[in-house]
Structure 1
Amino acid sequence: MSESTSQAISRSPPRALTGRQRLLESVSALKQRNYRLYWTGQLSSVLAQNMEAVAQSWLVLELTNSPLALGLTGLMFTIPSVALTLIGGAIADRADRRRIMLLAQAGSASVFLLLAGLVIMNWVALWQVMVLAFFTGALRAFDRPSRMALLPQMVPKEDIPNAVAIGGTIWQLNKLVGPAIAGVLIYLFGIGLTYFVCFLASAGAISLWQAIRLEGQTAASTPSQGLMRDMVEGVRFIRENEIYWVFIGMTFFNSVFGMSYVIMMPVFARDVLNVGSQGFGFLQSAGGAGALAGVLLAACLSHFRAKGLQAIGGALFFAVTLVLFALSDWLTLSLAAAFALGVAGQFYMTTIHAILQMNLPNELRGRVMGIHGLAWELMPIGGLIAGAIAEFAGAPAAVSLGGIMVGGMAIVVGLLMPRIRRLEQ
């Protein structure tokens, strides 16, 4: 073939995709058998988690009638989940990630079954719930890095962004339906049987994940240098590689500053918009619907190459919308802004997750993705900061500051880091 002919072919416009082809491209990761099993198991596992959160809160409230006890029980889960994440990530890079995932899920299922028995037999006490919450948090610290690190081994590299985006739909769907299902089950059958349904959902995830068959290793092949050195190596890798510290930093900014509006939402409903609990429910639903739309949008654009611009642009849109939400005193505008915040937040967070997964060496995947996942455990810190500011300057000022912080970070990245801005996949 002559050079001129070759150049003519390379300049020819790409053939337009039909609607059916676009739809298939937006779910391309589901063509892989292992990923279908993983995704369906995740759907069942996350449903159990969301239902259990409602059941646990209601159980603690019935046992104590104390808001403080609710907070302490949540703290008992969070402490090991945060403290053990680095260890969990290091172990995910040393051991069989699929086996860790299965063992952690089996541990969670056992907790649900034990609580079901304790409640049904009327033997349950607050200390038991707290101890089991601590144990579940510890399991999560080992489970999360392994799940995240295993995902790229189930799809071709070009489908990793699509797999990440489709995986995000699981969390958003379950946020919408999981608590509602739990509420209905508690009302009709009681807390004990609700926990038993959580056990069945977890057992379903185990049976699906057991059918996953991966070629080659499911853990890193690099010899371990010792647990502490492995953890230090993961942190050093992030610090020395711009892509990772920038995008993980953007995730931390989103979690600590950007998501403060979620915690402040009741204040906006009651004191700013004057719409009460009903309006609060509408705002929550608008944000949830937007988040689901955001991950679907990310799935549709998962094969879009300019990932750096996609992440920076999404962060800027999120920041501007957050300030708009903070300054709005009109319910219709606030509902639209809440929906847009859900779209933008999930879209650019999903994009960042995909960027990290696409570029990570397999031998460091558990440690780095564990640290990335840790960012989401820091939302309560952002809520504490926003609450303190709101106490003195009002909720609109607190949330506006969050938007300014997220937007400022995005602008700095966009202007001063051309390698990130031009990043393509």
Structure 2
Amino acid sequence: MSLALRFGALRHRDYRIFFAGQFVSFIGTWMQNTAQSWLVYELTRSPAWLGLISFLGFLPLSLFALIGGSVADRFNRRRLVLATNALALIIAGLFAVLIWLHAVEIHLVAVLVFLNGLVNAFDIPARQSFLVEMVGKEDLANGIALNSAMFNGARMFGPAVGGLVIAAFGTAWCMAANALSFLATILAVAAIRSRAPARQEKAPLRLLQSLREGAAYIRSSQLVWGVLGLVAVSTVFGWSYTVILPVYADKILGGGAVELGQLLSASGLGALSGAVFSATVASRFRPRKILLAGLLIFTLAIMGFALSRQPLLATISLALMGLGLILFNVNSNSALQQRVPDHLRGRVMGFYVLCFGGLMPLGSLQIGFVAEKLGVTLALLLNALICGLAVFAAARVLVQMRQRPVEEPAAASPSPINGFSIER
């Protein structure tokens, strides 16, 4: 199979430019994430504080992701992405300056992390919805998988580079590098000639009615709300493991920032493998099976990670954890985007962001405080148990769905309702 067929999204000029800019930006993001975790741990030496700071970073997604999705349906998505990246650049630059001036304290870290999360609440739905304008529906699934491969390729390199930079120069330089990396996305998006769908004049937007339209569509589709439910479980009890990696690197492995970077990079390597698999091979299999297989792989791997006491075993386990979660996430995102109608895409992706990033605060708090009280090992094992139960429950529902015809959800018709037109 030729590369053009295997990576169909790369046929599109706009997507190639976007891909390159985002890759540079995400390397900077992962450098900052590594530095931020290590900075918080240096300031507090507390798993609970790690959980609380992560909670504050994702709290805006819980509060504003649905609004962000509605905004992405209403306004020019390209301009939204430009604006959010400019704001993120300013926040990262301010973070670096505070550290250089030795003025950083834990409460200032909390404020900056919250502000960055607020920007993400509008950036993520806009970027997710913007993708279809660059590649069209035909190459949408491939574009989503390549996006994940790009993100996790950066996740493989960023933490490793970040750990070395922290050890050699300090955390401020990681924040500065991230600020500069946002320029890559800004320049890339500015060069894009997206094929935004024509938008008709509408009555003034009624936000609550807009959100109700999205919620009604989700309720009408067992597949959509079922996938969103699994995404919620994987967020709270799956992705939350990243919060306590600084404690694991310190207390279990006896390492420091370099070891933390290596652990995060191992997870990124596995995630990159899962994303490449999704972009090249996954189309031969049923997405529902890949969702469950990915979550099952993660469940078994996190159990191995919890019981590991050697760096090699921990690294292998983390790679498998990254592989499993990305197999799940890429295919859940693709399943949703392929199913939803264009005029509801931003709102449904807003709910997706709520279930994914918006529930991260809950996951961060629970694993941080459980690790504080019971230790890292028990916290990880409890999360693995809950993910395993979710896989079992979802498998039973899948069997039931096979035994009856699946009804197509009623997509909202392009008609005004209570003054809000859902026509795009």
Q: TM-score range by the shorter chain?
A: 0.7 to 0.9
> Which runs of no fewer than 5 residues in structure 2 stay unpaired?
408-424
Residues 3-41 of structure 1: CA distance to partner in whole angstroms, max 9, x if unpaired? xxxxxxxxxxxxxx4xxx2x4433221111111122122
> Counterparts of 1:269 and 1:186 in 2: how far apart (Å)?
15
Q: Is this contact kept in 1: 2:302–2:381, CA < 8 A?
A: no
Distance apart, 1:100 and its partner CA: 0.8
Aligned counterpart for 2:391 among listed residues 407, 411, 414? 407
Equivalent residue, structure 1, for 2:410: none
Task: Give the deviation of 1:101 after TM superposition.
Answer: 0.8
Moved more, 73-82 or 379-388: 379-388
Which residue of the partner structure matches residue 217 of structure 2?
237
Q: Secondary structure at the match of 2:74?
A: coil
Equivalent position SS for 1:147 = helix
Structure 2 residue aligned with 1:12: none
Residues 246-325 of structure 1 aligned to structure 2 (within 5 Å): 246-259=226-239, 277=255, 286-304=266-284, 306-319=286-299, 321-322=300-301, 325=304
1 CA distance for matches of 2:306 and 2:60? 37
Shift of 1:210: 0.5
In structure 2, the CA distance between the partners of 1:306 and 1:130, relative to structure 1 (3 Å rule), is closer
Q: 1:107 is matched with which residue?
A: 87
CA, structure 1 residues 365+28, in 2 after alignment: closer, same or farther (shift >3 Å)? same
Cα distance in 1 between the residues matched to 2:94 and 2:246: 34
Deviation at 1:351, TM superposition (A): 1.0
Change (3 A) 1:222 1:361: farther
Q: TM-score, normalised by structure 2?
A: 0.79
| Gap runs ≥5 in structure 1 | 1-16
Between 1:214-223 and 1:151-160, the stretch displaced more is: 214-223
RMSD of aligned Cα (Å): 3.8
Equivalent residue, structure 2, for 1:381: 362
2:422 aligns to what?
none
Shift, 1:338, TM fit: 4.3
Q: Which has the higher contact order (CA 8 A, sep 6+)?
A: 2
Residues 153-302 of structure 1 correspond to what in structure 2 (within 5 A)?
A: 153-217=133-197, 225-259=205-239, 277=255, 286-302=266-282
Please, which of 391, 399, 419 is the counterpart of residue 374 of structure 2?
391
Q: 1:303 to 1:218 in 2, by over 3 A?
A: farther
Q: CA deviation at 1:256?
A: 2.3
Q: How many angstroms apart in 2 are the aligned matches of 1:252 and 1:265? A: 21
**CA–CA distance in 1 between the matches of 2:183 and 2:297?**
40
Aligned pair in 2 of structure 1 residues 47, 26: CA closer, same or farther (>3 Å)?
Answer: same
Structure 2 distance, partners of 1:186, 1:264, is 18
Bigger Rg, structure 1 or 2: 1
Letter in 2 for 1:40: A
Structure 2 residue corresponding to 1:80, chosen from 60, 63, 70: 60
Q: Give 1:226 deviation, angstroms.
A: 0.6
In 2, the alpha carbon distance for the partners of 1:376 and 1:410 equals: 17
Q: Percent identity?
A: 30
d(CA) in 1 for partners of 2:79, 2:154 = 25
Matches of 1:74 and 1:172 in 2, distance apart?
20
State the alpha-carbon separation in 1 of the partners of residues 239 and 404 from structure 2: 23
Partner residue, 1:40: 20
Determine the C-alpha separation between the residues in 2 that align with 1:161 and 1:333: 33
Cα deviation, 1:339-387, whole Å, max 9, x if unaligned, reads: 3333232112211111111122122111211221222332453465566
Shift in alpha-carbon separation, 1:251–1:60, aligned structure 2, 3 A: closer
Instruction: After superposition, give the CA deviation of every residue in 1:66-94 in whole Å (9 maximum; x if it has no partner).
Output: 64665554443332232111111111111
Q: CA separation of 1:43/1:243 partners in 2, compared to 1, >3 Å: closer, same or farther? A: same
* CA drift at 1:158: 2.2
Cα contact 1:52–1:195 (8 A) shared by 2: yes
Contact 1:28 1:159 in 2 (8 A): yes
Aligned match of 1:3: none
Between the aligned partners of 1:367 and 1:192, the Cα distance in structure 2 is 36
- Change in Cα spacing, 1:218 to 1:287, as seen in structure 2 (3 Å) is farther
Tell me if the contact between 2:156 and 2:264 (Cα under 8 Å) persists in the aligned partners: no
- Residue 288 and residue 418 in structure 1: after superposition, are their counterparts in 2 closer, same or farther (change >3 A)? same
C-alpha offsets along residues 32-78 of structure 1, whole Å, 9 cap, x if unaligned?
A: 1111122122212222322222344455566x556466555444333
TM-score by length of 1: 0.79
2:328 to 348, 355, 359: 348
Structure 2 CA distance for partners of 1:166 and 1:190, relative to 1, 3 Å = same
